[in-house]
A and B are shown apart, each in its own frame.
Chain A
Amino acid sequence: MNDMIQVENLTKVYRSFKGAKEVKALDQISFSAAPGEFIGIMGPSGSGKTTLLNVLSGVDHPSSGEVAIAGHAMDKLKRDELALFRRRKIGYVFQDFNLLDSLTLKENVALPLILDRVAPREIEQRVDELMAFFGIADLANKYPYHVSGGQKQRAAAARAIVTNPAVCFADEPTGNLDSKSAADIMEMLTQMNEERASTILMVTHDPFAASYCKRIIFIKDGQINLQIQSAGDRKAFFDQILEILSVMRGEA
């Protein structure tokens, strides 16, 4: 039970609505992630990637099966406990950044700590350090609408790990970025993973972004289709991903 993420027979069924068929978004999925892993979840649209992420992060509830993050069974937690758990143990990077427009970048990064009533001096220290780490220290007092998408995503990443969470979830973090910014942010996530030993689970359909991962789980129709491990060479891993994707597309 040393795994950071443990998923057992996870199933999520969307009830039929207005005569439409029942949809099994996740079907008996099981996998686990060790501390410090960088896992990518890939799959075509509608394969259940985002549903998986939502269930893992406690935003959505599974129909059956179990999820444990850092040894805590998510379904045992009450609503408010879950909120606190998310705040302290889970970091989240969104495709559309989800920064609050009313806060400066620095305040945005500090928000989880502020919500947790951490002492201002400590907040200051941690946030400054992280912003320097992500190379946005000089943008501290800028508002989200003043900076570029890449800079926003760096701030979002800093926010995700400011509480030193057990796991960091990333939902298409490069989806809204140009290729240069996408590469930058992936470098950052890799650095986060390697230097700070953050466990990262990233959902993406961008093979380039996925090539930064150490392991990739492909899901299709709610089930795990395939898993591959990076040997260390990113270029080779990238080619491997492309190949698998084309095969999967062919099957579809």
Chain B
Amino acid sequence: MNLTFRHIVNQNLKYNFKRFLSYLFVNGFVVAVLFIYGSLLFNEKLAQDVSMQMVMDYISICTYAIILFSVIFVAYTGIYFVKSRGKEFSVYLTLGMTRRDLIRMIYLESLAIVAGSAVSGIIGGLLLSKLFYLILGRILGLSTDIYFISGTTYLLSLGVFVVVFLCNMLFTSVFIRRLSIIQIGKAASTKGLSKSRPILGSIAIIATAAAMYTYYGASTGEDSLFGYIIDEQYRSLIIIGSMLTIFVALYFVIPTCVDVVRAVMRMFPSLYNRHLLMMTNLKHRFFAYKVSLYMVTLLISFAIITMGFGLSFYSYTQKTINQHLPYDFMIESGAGINSVSADEVKQIVEKNGGEADDFSSLAYLYDENYRDYGKRLVHDYADSMVISESNFNRHTGLSVDVKPDELLLVSSQSDMDSAVDFDTLITVEPWRKGDERAVAFERGSVSKEKFLQSLEQTTSLSFSRDKTRTMVVHFINSYGDVEFEGVLANVVDDSVYAELKTKAQAPEYTSYLFNLKRGSGEKVYAGILDALRASNHADSSLWSSADTMFGNKDQAEALRPIYKKERFEIAFKINGLLFFSLGFLGILFLLSSSVVLYYKLVTDIDEEKEQVALLQKIGLTAAECKSYLQTHLAVVFFAPLLLGGVFGIFILSSAWSGAGANMSGFLMGRVFLMYSVFALLDVLFYMALRKKFFRGARI
């Protein structure tokens, strides 16, 4: 018995070889990708690189996304594979094979596939990762070899894969146990027939529209949704929830769209008749269609989102980095940290063989800004400072005039709205105290009145909206933060500033900003670091890494002098790395969408062959057959491209119009360019597969 049984398994493997091969290929591919990203996660050599440490969070998110993706993808292909063989299995059952034997046979087949996928995947992964690390090394500008495969990587890729496979096997046994011979016999002609679900569909469409609205609102920084004020702490939750809703509801929206198209076309009988074969096919094989359309749509929008984010980060940095870092050097001094004078700074520069140019000292007081929109009070969380009118004019070379009751809001970022619809409340106190108050305010969201009461003796200023102007000037190096936190300056009349300075118990800070006319930047910077460490009575452990957390204005560690070139390098490394890893992920999604399309095509060909043979007997000309098959193929290819494109671009454009309003046009231009490349690839793939499809259907 054993021998015979194994013989059957072997025969099966041989018979289904082609399908097994593509299944093997898909799984091998997933293992290879898991392997590459896993190796990134456990790469000890890379872990020492500063920028790598900074993007490690993104990399791990990517890896988890890939793990999630591979679980879904391998499960999908596995289930589809088993389901597509339902008829074959029912023949075995009819012939008297027990379900146990059948499951055992499928397990044996699976084992062959698991082993094959694992081996080919790891070999593929090893080869691909060589290339991956070569490109990565270039991007990071590393001269040392960063190729490193940790043993954990093997464990991860195999582990995830085995878990997925175990799940598939569980599914298989449930599927086989429930398999009804009678149903399957009938399934050949009724499989995938769909019931229209107008109510569910309508709900899904409404949910999608609502989720799009909430996503847009939350990501563009709207304050309220459906009349409810957004609690800041739930904002990201709303964004993620809306995205999830959009993508889940899509599964029900797609069939409803098809139903609507059918219903509309039915109103025009000649049009409906012309596309009768296509329309009825859509309904008849709806399940298979729905799943592939959904998968491909999802994958394409994921590809657009991931790649688009990577591309946008990179392009944004490239375009704006100079605006965010207008000076070669910036030293911030205050609260007893970095206590140097302008002359001392110049001396340090000269001592290290350099000469400073455009030297400017800018004095200011740190404050917290609250915006009063009438009904509610909002803390504006940008780093903000109060600057006197004459200090500001001297530093920028402008000649603004601010009256004692007036306020000029100056942003170092180019997304300042010129319309002011809020009164401004400014509190000035030692930085830590002000920061804690602001954090508590945000957390508690107390009423305006209570908050004002709580201020008591705190020095504060208020300005009404009609006395407030705004302006964009790149007047300071943003705090070297890689994400370029904007800086907000409250420019006030000299008399107001002088009074504030004496009344508030807060220290005045000074930033020395200058360019280097000649000399070595590295040497000057090293000199500055040493001199400042000495003045702070610190050793070389202070500022040992460029990966400093900026923000805490009362800690020496956070007041690391800013050297433009250093920030440039880090910014490009990080964004390059992000671009690369997100781009890679995008390519992966895109490739997977092609795999799904290919699968769909291969499974369709046999059915189409029968159908076409029959249609030809009835008297369909070759051209008509081709046009029918072509429509069929075009729907599968281009509907997801369109739908996925709409959702992907919507998600990106909303994110950008919130985060980088002035740049969103530029960024979306890039994204559209990328989408055009996707579309072009899709068209090429379509044309290649069309040929195969025609040949397969024997036209």
Contact = CB atoms under 8 A, between A and B. Distances in A.
B614 A100 contact: yes
Contacts of A98: 614, 617
Contact of B619 (A115, A123, A143, A144): A115
Interface stretch (A32-40, A101-109, A174-182, A217-225): A101-109
Interface string B267-280: 00110011011001
Interface stretch (B235-243, B390-398, B580-588, B620-628): B620-628
Given A98-B614, A101-B284, A119-B270, A84 B622 contact: no
B617 to A, nearest CB: 6
Contacts of B624: 83, 115
Interface in B537-551: none
B614 A115 contact: no
Contacts of A145: 186, 189-190
Interface in A99-127: 100-103, 107, 110-112, 114-115, 117, 119-121, 123
Nearest to A80: B621
Nearest to A89: B619
Nearest to B274: A117
Contacts of B277: 100, 102
Nearest to B278: A102
Contact of A90 (B269, B270, B619, B622): B619
Given A103-B280, A115-B624, A120 B270 contact: yes
Contacts of B284: 101-102
Contacts of B618: 86-87, 92, 111-112, 115, 159
Contact of B283 (A92, A102, A112): A102
A85 interface: yes
A112 B615 CA distance: 9
A87 B270 CA distance: 19
Contact of A144 (B189, B269, B274, B622): B189
B619 A88 contact: yes
A144 B193 CA distance: 13
Interface in A122-163: 123, 143-145, 159
B617 A84 contact: no
B619 A100 contact: no
B495 interface: no
Interface residues of A, number: 33
Contact of A114 (B273, B616, B623): B273
A13 interface: no
A196 B283 CA distance: 36
A73 interface: no
B267 to A, nearest CB: 11
A84 B619 contact: yes
A86 B619 contact: yes
Given A87-B618, A102-B284, A114 B189 contact: no
Contact of B616 (A83, A117, A144): A83
Contact of A107 (B186, B276, B611, B616): B276
Contacts of A120: 269-270, 273
B339 interface: no
Interface string B52-73: 0000000000000000000000
Contacts of B276: 103, 107, 111, 114
Nearest to B187: A145
Nearest to A98: B614
A178 to B, nearest CB: 18
Given A98-B614, A103-B280, A117 B270 contact: yes
25 contacts: A59-B616, A79-B622, A83-B619, A83-B620, A83-B622, A84-B619, A86-B618, A92-B617, A92-B618, A98-B614, A100-B277, A100-B280, A101-B189, A101-B190, A102-B280, A102-B281, A102-B283, A103-B276, A103-B280, A107-B280, A111-B618, A112-B618, A114-B274, A144-B189, A159-B618
Given A85-B619, A87-B618, A144-B189, 19 more contacts: A80-B623, A83-B616, A83-B621, A83-B622, A84-B621, A87-B620, A88-B619, A100-B277, A101-B284, A102-B281, A103-B276, A107-B280, A110-B273, A112-B618, A115-B620, A117-B273, A119-B270, A123-B273, A145-B190
Interface of A: 57, 59, 79-80, 83-88, 90, 92, 94, 98, 100-103, 107, 110-112, 114-115, 117, 119-121, 123, 143-145, 159
- The list of the 9 closest CB pairs from A to B, nearest first, reads A87-B619, A120-B269, A102-B284, A86-B619, A83-B621, A102-B280, A80-B621, A101-B189, A145-B189
